[in-house]
Copies of this chain bind each other. A is one copy, B any other.
């Protein structure tokens, strides 16, 4: 039984321009952390990610949701978590503040993730193993499929999982090899050209075969020049992604993406406003075969449904610490599977939680694994930091979702 809850506002200033992008010049990586204390001594930890200011608002909203969990048994809760998610996310007064977006939905992510962490810890297994061992019915019972009835009924969702059941063994091999990470830290926005070049060499030496540069400068020539540096150092075989962090308007994006084609980027990420579904569609059509990646700021399953229906993005970067947690992440992954669009999470969690979810998506749902973003800046802040060796994410073995923070350890 969950006997008490605790919410913590944890903020980590970053050194020397790390984390900077076209919009966020001075981010403070922050977590609104929910902890659920079980009367058997287990602690479920989950969080949402913010860039500093307002992390306290998310904490306050998380407390509102988490208070409702006191007295509940985690196994019983997770047996019908989809219903609880529906109930919490449609709380009749609180929902006005969204619905299903912004502060309240970030808060729900924090609480949801703490539930999944507690569930796995009580079973004594890593989250990926817990999820893979569930039956298709048990998984679907943790999901809220409301407002998706036109695209993904319960029966259709079950069917997606059922057809994959017989081939799970083949895909479990990935647990031995691990899967590629990509390096987001070669080219933060405020890094000098020299530092970008140096970081590219370093990333390649560390075994990375994919890396990402921040673009979206007021001066397009700066973007072109820096992208050229990365491609030059990386060579033709390495995947190079370019991330504009919404800094372009649509006409600007159409123009500069044409110029960036020569660099052969693997994708262009967040070219413009994350709510502009039809804008992304227009851009995607105009720059094909160059591909778009979107999701870091997309708040919920309904907006992702629209992106998929419009065929406006080629990679879905859903983040389980932005949407309503693991539950909604899985829901969105099912939608993506139906549409044949790969899921490549954005890692507000620094990959800690998502390393489990990528394994689940691949093994249980049959998603292709391309790679997972790697951001090293908070590595020492986690009790069980993700292990990236030779550019490869290794399979986590500790019980839970790898989200416990050093700061909160006794």
Q: Which residues of A contact B (CB under 8 A)?
A: 23-28, 50-54, 56-58, 60-61, 64, 90-106, 146-147, 149-150, 246, 249-252, 272-279, 282, 297, 299-300, 302-303, 305-306, 309-310
Contact = CB atoms under 8 A, between A and B. Distances in A.
Given A147-B249, A282-B150, A97 B103 contact: yes
Contact of A103 (B27, B57, B309): B57
Contact of A102 (B64, B102, B302): B102
Nearest to A56: B60
Contacts of A306: 275-279
Given A147-B249, A147-B273, A302-B275, A53 B94 contact: yes
A212 B303 CA distance: 29
Nearest to A254: B150
5 contacts: A27-B93, A56-B60, A99-B274, A103-B103, A275-B302
A97 B52 contact: no
A108 to B, nearest CB: 12
Nearest to A251: B149
A272 B99 CA distance: 12
A54 B251 contact: no
A303 B275 contact: yes
Contact of A97 (B58, B100, B252, B300): B58
Given A249-B149, A278-B309, A279-B150, A93 B51 contact: yes
A320 to B, nearest CB: 16
A99 B303 CA distance: 14
Contacts of A95: 23
Given A149-B252, A150-B251, 15 more contacts: A25-B92, A28-B93, A50-B93, A54-B61, A54-B96, A57-B60, A57-B97, A58-B97, A99-B246, A99-B297, A147-B272, A150-B279, A275-B302, A277-B278, A277-B306
